[in-house]
C-alpha cells in the first residue's frame, strides 16, 4: 500500500441554479488575460447540450483519455509515445478555436465617440482573435437553459447514446446544469500525453499542474485530456489549466469557484488513496465496474492501518485528521451518493457529482402527486428511464443501477426529513429501504441541505505555520519578491523569469486596467477596462484628458471649470 493524499471536490447538482458565478469569478481570477479569452477553467453546461468545447465527450472523434488495447493493457486512446512524436508538428486531434468559440468584445468606444448622426451608433462585436468585425455564432454556453436546443441538442454525444425514440420527450422533461473544472485525475492522460513532461501531479495534494517553464507548446495535453480541460494560451504559446486554486488551497481557503458558488453546492476535502492500485483500477475490463473500482482505490482514513501507512508515507498528521473529517470522503464512500464524471475515460477523475433528483421531483409534482413521498419518488425513479439513463451515461459509463441507488437515497432523505420537519414521527423504514441508518440520513441531510461552510470545506493548509495568514491575496508580495516584477520580456507576452503568482496577478491587473485594445494590447494608453478595475485610485485613461491640462493650475478644491 502506498498512501497518497488527493484534494478532491464533490458538486451537488441538485442545487446548481446555473448562475455561472463560479465561471465568472474563476475567469476574473485566472484567465482574464489576452491569450486566454476563450478559456474557462470552470464552465457550466446545460445538459442535455453539447458542452464546451462542442461535443468534447465524443471520444471516437477527439480520442482523449485512455482505452484498453488489444492485450487488455491501458493505453492512450490517441496513440502511444512514438505516434505522439510523429504527429508533433501538427496535432491531428487539436480542437480549433471554432470548437470552443471565437472570443469577442464590443467596440464600445463608438457609442461615445461617434459624431452626431441620424442613426444611433452601435457597438459592434470585434473578434479578440483577429481584431476584425465578427458575427457571433457560438460561445461557451450558447445553449444555456436549452436555448436553441431543438436544433443542437441532438449533437449531444451523451444524448445520442441514450435510445432514439424518447429523445424529444426527454428534452421537454429534463434539464440540469453541469459545472465542470479540471478533474485533477489520479491517472491524468494530459500528463501522460505531454512530450516535455511539463504536466505533473503534486505528490502532496494531487493537484495537476502545468510547469510553465517546461511547457514547450506541443499541445498534446489539449487533445489528450478527454474533458478538454487543458487550454492553449495562444499568446504565450503554453498550455494552461485549472490549478485547483492552489495558492488559496495551500493556505486553507477553498477554490474561488467553490467559495463564490451561489448554490453552496461544492465540497472540498482530502481523500487518501492507494497509489499502487490506481493502474489496476483504471484497467478494469468492464466499463460498468469502473465506478466501483475507482471507489475502492480510495482508502478509509479511519482504518488504523491506513493511518499508519499514511504517516509512514510522510503525510502530516493534521492532513490525516482532515481526511477523516473530509466531506468528500463521506459523500463518496460513506453515503455513496457521489459519482465520478465519465469514469469510462479511465483517467480516475477526482471531481465527483451527486446526480440531480430535482427533475424527478418535478415530474412527480407536475402529476399532482405528493413529491415528498418516498413511494412516489421511488416509483418515478424506476419509471423515468430516460433521465436515469442519461445520468448513467454521464456518471457510471451507462450502468443505471448505481444512479438509481443514489437517487433513491436522495429521495429517501427528502421523505424522511419531511416527517421530522413537520413534527411527525420519523419513519425508520424509509432509510432502511435504501440501506441506511436513521442517523446517517440525518448527517447526510446536514451535509447536503444545511451545508455549513466549515463542513463543506475541510482543507488542511499546506503549511500549518501559515494558516494564520488567511488574507491570502498578499499585499506585501510585490515587495517580497526579489528580482523585481518584469511582466513582459523581449520575446513576447509574459516571457522572462519566473514570477510568483500573486505578483503576476497584481501586474496583470494593473496592465489590464490601463489597456483593453482588442486582440493585442499594443498601445496600452488607450482606455480603461472597467471590468478589471478594482475601484482603487484612478488609472490613467479613466478620464479623458482635460482640454487645458497643460496650462491651467489645478483647482485645489476640485471646483469645476465650466
Partner 1 sequence: MDVFLWVIVPYLCLATFVVGHFWRYRYDKFGWTTRSSQLYEDRLLRLGSPLFHFGMLGVVGGHVLGLLVPQSWTDALGVSHETYHVVAVIGGLVAGLMAVVGMAILIYRRRTVGPVFSATTVMDKVMYAFLAVVIVLGMWNTIAGSILTVGGEYNYREGVSVWYRSFLAFQPDASLMADAPIGFQLHALVAFGLFALWPFTRLVHVFSAPVGYLTRPYIVYRSRDPKLGSRRQRRGWERVG
Which positions lie near ligand SF4, rule CB under 6 A? 16-22, 44, 177, 179, 182-185, 188-190, 208, 225, 227, 229-230, 241, 261-263, 265, 347
How would DSSP label each residue in 355-372?
---HHHHHHHHHTTS-TT
The angle subtended at Cα 16 by Cα 13 and Cα 22, nearest 5°, is 115
Give the nearest distance from C-beta 99 to partner 1 in angstroms.
10
Q: Are 274 and 297 in contact (CB under 8 A)?
A: yes
Binding at 18: pick from partner 1, ligand SF4, none (beta carbon under 5-8 Å per type)? ligand SF4
DSSP 529: -
Partner whose footprint covers residue 17, from partner 1, ligand SF4, none (CB < 5 to 8 Å by kind): ligand SF4
Closer CB to partner 1, 62 or 353, in the complex? 62
Q: Which is nearer to partner 1, 151 or 522 (CB)?
A: 522
**From the list partner 1, ligand SF4, none, which binds 88 (C-beta under 5 to 8 Å, kind-based)?**
partner 1
Question: Do residues 515 and 521 touch, judged by C-beta distance below 8 A?
Answer: yes
Task: Tell the smallest beta-carbon distance from residue 492 to partner 1 (Å).
Answer: 6
Instruction: Provide Rg for the chain, Cα atoms.
Output: 26
Partner whose footprint covers residue 418, from partner 1, ligand SF4, none (CB < 5 to 8 Å by kind): none
Residue 21's binding partner out of partner 1, ligand SF4, none, with CB under 5 to 8 Å set by partner kind: ligand SF4
- Among 510, 526, 525, 540, which Cα is nearest to 107's? 526
CB of 399 to partner 1, least distance (A): 27
CA distances from 88 to 91, 104, 192, 223 (A): 6, 30, 15, 12
Min dist. Cβ of residue 15 to ligand SF4 (A):
7
Closer CB to partner 1, residue 190 or residue 400?
A: 190
Q: Choose the one of ligand SF4, partner 1, none that binds residue 305, judging by a C-beta under 5 to 8 angstroms depending on kind.
A: none
Quickly list DSSP for 49-100.
S-TTTTTTT-HHHH--SEEE-TTS-EEETT--HHHHHHTTTS-TTPPPHHHH
- The answer to whether residues 184 and 351 touch, using CB atoms and an 8 Å cutoff, is yes
Nearer to partner 1, 497 or 550 (CB): 497
Interior/surface letters 500-529, b for 16+ CB within 10 angstroms, e for the rest: eebbbbbbbebbbbbbbbbbebeeeeebbb
Integer CA distances (angstroms), 407 to 80, 105, 314, in order: 39, 42, 38
Measure the CA–CA gap between 559 and 467, rounded to whole angstroms: 49
The closest alpha carbon to 348, from 468, 192, 470, belongs to: 192
CB closer to ligand SF4, 201 vs 408: 201
At closest approach, how far in Å is the CB of 491 from partner 1?
Answer: 4
Minimum distance from CB of 464 to ligand SF4 (Å)? 27
Q: Please, which residue, 10 or 400, has the CB nearer to ligand SF4?
A: 10
C-beta closer to partner 1: residue 139 or 196: 196
Cα torsion 53, 59, 62, 66: sign: positive
Nearer of residues 188 and 402 to partner 1, judged by Cβ: 188
Q: Which is nearer to partner 1, 69 or 145 (CB)?
A: 69
Binder of residue 230, out of partner 1, ligand SF4, none (CB less than 5 to 8 A by kind): ligand SF4
197 binds, among ligand SF4, partner 1, none (CB under 5 to 8 A by kind): partner 1
265 binds, among ligand SF4, partner 1, none (CB under 5 to 8 A by kind): ligand SF4
Q: How far is the CB of 185 from ligand SF4 (least distance, A)?
A: 3
Classify residue 228 by its DSSP letter: -
Q: For residues 105 and 130, give the distance between their C-alpha atoms in angstroms, rounded to a whole number.
A: 11
DSSP-assigned states of every residue in 467-492: TT-TT-S-SSHHHHSTT------TTS
Residues making up the chain, counted from first to last: 562
Q: Which is nearer to ligand SF4, 225 or 444 (CB)?
A: 225
Q: Give which of ligand SF4, partner 1, none residue 498 binds (C-beta under 5 to 8 Å, depending on kind).
A: partner 1
State the nearest-atom distance from the C-beta of 421 to ligand SF4, in Å. 24
- For residue 264, the minimal CB distance to partner 1 (Å) is 24
Helix (H) / strand (E) containing 273:
strand 266-274
Choosing among partner 1, ligand SF4, none, which partner's interface includes residue 548 (Cβ < 5 to 8 Å by kind)?
none
Residue number, 306 or 502, with CB nearest to partner 1: 502
For residue 68, give the nearest of 58, 60, 76 by alpha carbon: 76
- Residue 312 near which of partner 1, ligand SF4, none (CB within 5-8 Å, type-dependent): none
The residue (of 130 and 429) whose beta carbon lies closer to partner 1 is: 130
List own/partner pairs for 284-293 with CB under 8 A and 24 or more apart: 285/68, 285/72, 287/343, 287/344, 287/397, 287/398, 287/399, 288/396, 288/397, 288/398, 288/399, 290/343, 290/344, 290/346, 290/396, 290/397, 291/339, 291/340, 291/343, 291/395, 291/396, 291/397, 291/399, 291/402
Question: From the CB of 149, what's the least distance to ligand SF4, in Å?
Answer: 18
CB of residue 349 vs ligand SF4: minimum separation in angstroms?
A: 6
Q: Is 492 exposed, middle or buried (0-12, 13-18, 19+ CB in 10 A)?
A: exposed
Query: Least CB distance from residue 474 to partner 1, whole Å?
Result: 5
Amino acid at each position: 500500500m502506498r498512501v497518497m493524499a488527493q484534494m478532491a471536490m464533490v458538486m451537488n447538482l441538485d442545487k446548481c441554479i446555473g448562475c455561472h458565478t463560479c465561471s465568472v469569478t474563476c475567469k476574473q481570477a485566472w484567465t482574464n488575460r489576452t491569450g486566454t479569452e476563450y478559456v474557462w477553467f470552470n464552465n457550466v453546461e446545460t445538459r442535455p447540450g453539447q458542452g464546451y468545447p462542442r461535443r468534447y465527450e465524443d471520444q471516437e472523434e477527439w480520442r482523449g483519455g485512455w482505452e484498453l488495447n488489444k492485450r487488455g493493457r491501458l493505453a492512450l486512446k490517441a496513440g502511444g509515445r512514438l505516434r505522439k512524436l510523429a504527429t508533433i508538428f501538427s496535432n491531428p486531434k487539436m480542437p480549433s478555436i471554432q470548437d470552443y468559440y471565437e472570443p469577442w468584445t464590443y467596440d464600445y468606444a463608438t457609442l461615445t465617440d461617434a459624431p452626431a448622426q441620424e442613426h444611433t451608433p452601435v457597438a459592434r462585436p470585434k473578434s479578440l482573435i483577429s481584431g476584425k468585425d465578427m458575427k457571433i455564432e457560438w460561445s461557451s454556453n450558447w445553449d444555456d437553459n436549452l436555448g436553441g436546443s431543438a436544433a443542437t441538442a441532438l449533437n449531444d454525444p451523451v444524448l445520442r447514446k441514450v435510445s432514439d425514440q424518447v429523445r424529444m420527450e426527454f428534452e421537454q422533461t429534463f434539464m440540469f446544469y453541469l459545472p465542470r473544472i479540471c478533474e485533477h485525475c489520479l491517472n491524468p492522460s494530459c500528463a501522460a500525453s505531454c512530450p516535455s513532461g511539463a504536466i505533473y501531479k503534486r505528490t502532496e495534494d494531487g493537484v495537476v499542474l502545468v510547469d510553465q517553464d517546461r511547457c514547450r507548446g506541443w499541445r498534446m495535453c489539449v487533445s489528450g485530456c478527454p474533458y478538454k480541460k487543458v487550454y492553449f494560451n495562444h499568446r504565450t504559446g503554453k498550455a494552461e489549466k485549472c490549478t485547483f486554486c492552489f495558492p488559496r488551497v495551500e493556505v486553507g481557503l477553498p477554490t474561488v469557484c467553490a467559495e463564490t458558488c451561489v448554490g453552496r453546492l461544492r465540497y472540498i476535502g482530502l481523500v487518501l488513496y492507494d497509489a499502487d492500485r490506481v493502474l489496476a483500477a483504471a484497467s478494469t475490463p468492464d466499463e460498468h465496474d469502473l465506478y466501483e473500482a475507482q471507489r475502492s482505490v480510495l482508502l478509509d482514513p479511519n482504518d488504523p492501518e491506513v493511518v499508519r501507512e499514511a504517516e509512514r508515507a510522510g503525510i502530516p498528521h493534521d492532513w490525516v485528521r482532515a481526511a477523516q473529517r473530509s466531506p468528500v470522503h463521506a459523500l463518496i464512500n460513506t453515503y455513496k451518493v457521489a459519482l465520478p464524471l465519465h469514469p469510462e475515460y479511465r483517467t480516475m477523475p477526482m471531481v465527483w457529482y451527486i446526480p440531480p433528483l430535482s427533475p424527478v421531483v418535478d415530474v412527480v409534482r407536475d402529476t399532482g402527486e405528493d413529491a415528498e413521498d418516498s413511494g412516489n419518488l421511488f416509483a418515478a425513479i424506476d419509471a423515468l428511464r430516460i433521465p436515469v439513463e442519461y445520468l448513467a451515461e454521464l456518471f457510471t459509463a451507462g450502468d443505471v443501477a448505481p444512479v438509481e441507488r443514489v437517487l433513491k437515497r436522495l429521495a429517501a432523505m427528502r421523505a424522511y426529513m419531511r416527517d421530522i420537519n413537520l413534527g411527525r414521527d420519523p419513519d425508520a423504514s424509509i432509510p432502511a429501504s435504501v440501506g441506511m441508518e436513521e442517523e446517517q440520513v440525518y448527517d447526510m441531510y446536514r451535509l447536503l441541505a444545511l451545508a455549513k461552510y466549515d463542513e463543506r470545506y475541510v482543507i488542511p493548509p499546506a503549511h500549518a505555520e501559515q494558516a494564520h495568514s488567511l488574507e491570502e491575496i498578499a499585499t506585501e508580495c510585490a515587495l517580497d519578491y526579489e528580482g523585481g516584477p518584469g511582466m513582459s520580456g523581449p520575446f513576447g507576452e509574459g516571457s522572462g523569469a519566473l514570477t510568483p503568482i500573486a505578483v503576476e496577478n497584481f501586474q496583470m491587473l494593473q496592465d489590464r486596467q490601463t489597456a483593453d485594445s482588442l486582440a493585442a494590447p499594443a498601445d496600452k494608453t488607450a482606455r480603461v477596462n472597467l471590468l478589471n478595475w478594482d475601484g482603487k485610485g484612478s488609472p490613467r485613461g479613466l478620464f479623458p484628458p482635460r482640454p487645458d491640462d497643460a496650462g491651467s493650475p489645478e483647482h485645489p478644491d476640485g471646483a469645476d471649470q465650466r
